[in-house]
Amino acid sequence: MLLAGKVALITGGTKGIGAATAIELARRGADVAINGRHDDEDARQVQSRIEALGRRVVVVVGDMGAAADATRSVEETIRCLGAIDVLVHSAGGAVVGGLMDLAPETWHRAFDVHVHALFHLCRAAIPSMRQRGEGAIIMISSVAGIRGVHFNLAYQVVKGALPQFARALAREVANDNIRVNCICPGIIRTRFHDQMTPEQKKHNLEHRIPLRREGTPEQVATLIAEVAANDYITGETFTIDGGLTMRIA
């Protein structure tokens, strides 16, 4: 799939990996809808950078934890930019706490944002992809969904659901030439990373990441763009983590 002239919707597209992905897709010629919960300074900065690349951009405000907002984000993108060719679900965030610490509402909210939103986004976007004869859906998971980490039960469970969601949906829509893949970032320099203590960051570099450096949102965005463009990849899960998940020692 050549990305030039395509339309992409990026949820969580005003910050971090989502923002970097929106800019990278625009750099490759796509028109982009960026979703965030607020039309704030972050959103305007991303919008300005995309406009500077000469691409169309629209900010779609909505909470991906609300089914109606997820569906409306797709509908608004189609109304403003045209049928969606690339859907990237990057919205989400940390969910701290173990089994006995989590309130049921927090547990359910994690599923609403990370998993249930995808159900509604895909149901709304796939019909237009079918009409166009192709499409790419990319789900942003985490290495936390592959390996157990301490004290983040809900986050690990919802992120662990996404690779299987991608595989199952990839089977279902393959005959429509719609590809579905999953990306699992490791420790990436975002606001999520900023919550770590200096001691945690030092431990990660010295003992967990073989390449001994954190990743950047731009590095993840490059992988997302390549997976979106390559029309012979579907049902796959890619890690981008500096070797964290392969480390034995």
Cβ-contact 70, 9 below 8 angstroms = no
Which run of H or of E encompasses 78? helix 67-81
Residues with a known catalytic role: 155
C-alpha–C-alpha distance, residues 186 and 143, integer Å: 5
C-alpha–C-alpha distance, residues 51 and 10, integer Å: 16
Three-state SS letters, 112-159: HHHHHHHHHHHHHHHHHHHHHCCEEEEEECCHHHCCCCCCEHHHHHHH
Cβ-contact 126, 167 below 8 angstroms = no
